[in-house]
Amino acid sequence: MATPPPPQQQGAGPYPYGPHNPYAPQVPQVPQQAPYGAYGMPPQPGAHGCRMCGAWPVAAETVYGHQGFIVLMRFLSRKGPFCRDCGLATYRRMSSDTMWQGWWGPLSAFITPVTLLMNLGPRAAFRRLAPPAGGFRPPLDPGRPLWRRVPFLLVLVPMLLVVLAFPTLLVIGLVVGDDKPVTLTVGQCVRNAGDWSDQELIVESCGSPSAEYRVTRRLEQPGTTCADGEFYAGLEYGPGGSTPTCLAPLR
């Protein structure tokens, strides 16, 4: 009795399907995608997000800081990329620390302003970014603006005093000016707080021990002179600033 042939597999033909059949239809493999971030957005292909939170968009900027230690100094930097919020938070923290830590040294007093100016470029780049999204954690809180923080006020007040000192002194000098010399009258007593080439005559009571000279007369007539032993007061002490005055020593 003949043995029946083995049953054919489904779709069997002259070239049955099998693990070694190169012509067997292949089942497409669907690649598994990595899980999305905390905000449900996938990272951009071929790039990296914010170094702090992984969010996008980012700016590849570097924020700088400086510390002065009288003799030594320390240069600080934090390299991106940063998203908008993490970048602003890093900029404000490092700039704020630099404002009160960076001045303590001869060279640091010049390096600190340069460091603060260098940080203005990254700050502008961070502010141009859209709100962060797609990170693996919430971005940093930028906090209060730099001009509303205590270190900024501590630096601003001395700088304003230095800037305003010169114009303030100039205005005071113009308003107050030099004291105008007093016009001496006959019979008054004075003392000379300067020397005779640069007189500074101050009126004193004739009974005061500080009094040194008595005004005897004015030389209002041309050709008249003071008596022997008397001194000439400057023209500015006479009427109109053009009349000589004679001073006689009290002792």
Residue 94's CB: how many other CB atoms inside 10 A? 21
Domain ranges of the chain: 62-161, 189-249
Residue 4's CB: how many other CB atoms inside 10 A? 6
On the question of pLDDT at 38 being above 50, the answer is: no
The predicted-structure confidence for 40-81, as pLDDT tens digits, reads as follows 344 444 457 999 999 999 999 999 999 988 888 999 999 999
Listed in order, strand segments (DSSP E) in the chain are: 62-69, 72-79, 189-192, 201-204, 213-218, 231-233, 245-249
Q: Give 131 or 29, the one with higher predicted confidence.
A: 131
Going by C-alpha positions, the residue among 18, 24, 96, 88 that lies closest to residue 53 is 88
Per the structure block, which two tokens stand in for 215? 């005004």
Backbone angles phi, psi at 208, to 5 degrees: -80, 140
Going by C-alpha positions, the residue among 44, 69, 119, 114 that lies closest to residue 89 is 119
Element (DSSP H or E) covering residue 217: strand 213-218
The predicted-structure confidence for 92-141, as pLDDT tens digits, reads as follows 999 999 988 888 888 888 898 899 999 999 999 999 999 999 999 999 99
- pLDDT at 45 (0 to 100): 42
Mean pLDDT across the chain, nearest whole number?
79
Q: Give 194 or 156, the one with higher predicted confidence.
A: 194
Q: Calculate what percentage of the chain has a pLDDT beyond 90.
A: 32
Q: How confident is the model at residue 162 (pLDDT cuts 50, 70, 90)?
A: low
pTM strictly above 0.85: no
- pLDDT at 250 (0 to 100): 87
Q: How confident is the model at residue 163 (pLDDT cuts 50, 70, 90)?
A: confident
